[in-house]
């Protein structure tokens, strides 16, 4: 019985310490989020690409599922990429109803990194 009480006490102590640390990180998150509201937030093109584009284009842009273009070989300019992502082309649907202009631009800029 003593061992059980000691084990519960240790687990409780560990849990309490982990909550104290997460409380401190939420304070720093709050502070950084207030700073982020003062300046325009830069979108994470890679994260958005992985969420919406990887299914057809693949992780490296060369999968070609459902007729998707190979992003490693594309010759489109940034503006043309933004147009395609916004309005779609061929079998690709447009993302203007799902993504903001800033997110679309971030994805278009990220696809430049996929080019070999």
CATH number of the structural domain 45-114: 1.10.760.10
Domain ranges for the chain: 1-39, 45-114
Give me the phi and psi of 68, to 5 degrees please: -65, 140
Q: Are 108 and 43 in contact (CB under 8 A)?
A: no
Q: Which pTM does this prediction carry?
A: 0.64
The string of pLDDT tens digits covering residues 66-109 is: 899 999 999 999 999 999 999 999 999 999 999 999 999 999 99
């Amino acid at each position: 019985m003593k061992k059980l009480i000691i084990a519960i006490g240790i687990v409780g102590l560990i849990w309490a310490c982990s909550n104290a640390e997460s409380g401190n990180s939420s304070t720093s998150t709050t502070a950084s989020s207030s700073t982020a509201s003062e300046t325009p937030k830069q979108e994470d093109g890679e994260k958005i690409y992985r969420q919406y584009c990887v299914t057809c284009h693949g992780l490296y842009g060369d999968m070609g599922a459902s007729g998707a273009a190979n992003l490693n070989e594309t010759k489109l300019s940034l503006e043309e990429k933004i147009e395609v992502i916004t309005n779609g082309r061929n079998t690709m649907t447009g993302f203007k109803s799902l993504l903001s202009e800033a997110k679309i631009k971030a994805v278009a800029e990220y696809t430049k990194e996929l080019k070999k």
